[in-house]
Amino acid sequence: MLLRLACAWIAFLVIARLPFPQFSPNTSIVVSVAFALTLALGFGTPIVAFVLAAATMATAFMTGNDSALTMIARGCGCAALGLLGPGAYSIDANVFGRRVIRLEPRGPDRLSDA
């Protein structure tokens, strides 16, 4: 949940820097609020997180100043959220159900698959 909130905060910082010359100036605010709410609530988290990671990388390479390294680190955080998934306290968990992966230890009577 904390990673989702951190990426929601990043959405405000990143999308506000993207140039939308063909749209009105308020478009970036509306898009950043939509991304932030979607991430904070945990709806469609992997897709939104990967799109935000791509936008963060694009912003890092477009600015090209000292904050580029920070933007790349923020993009890696968003990509990590996309790989980890939304978590237990999200809309995705309520809609699609929780998934638990359990790794059973191998017993001494089982041979390796070599």
Greater confidence (35 vs 114) lies with 35
pTM for the full model? Answer: 0.72
* Model pLDDT for residues 74-102, shown as the tens digit of each residue: 889 989 988 887 777 777 777 777 666 67
Sign of CA dihedral 23, 25, 29, 32: positive
pLDDT (tens digit per residue) in 18-49: 776 677 778 878 888 888 898 888 888 889 99
Torsion over CA: 76, 78, 79, 83 (sign):
positive
SS3 content of the chain, % helix, strand, coil (to 5): 60, 0, 40
Q: Can you tell me the distance from the alpha carbon of 78 to that of 59, in angstroms, rounded to the nearest whole number?
A: 14
With 0-12 / 13-18 / 19 or more C-beta atoms within 10 angstroms meaning exposed / middle / buried, residue 73 is exposed
Is 5's pLDDT higher than 70? yes
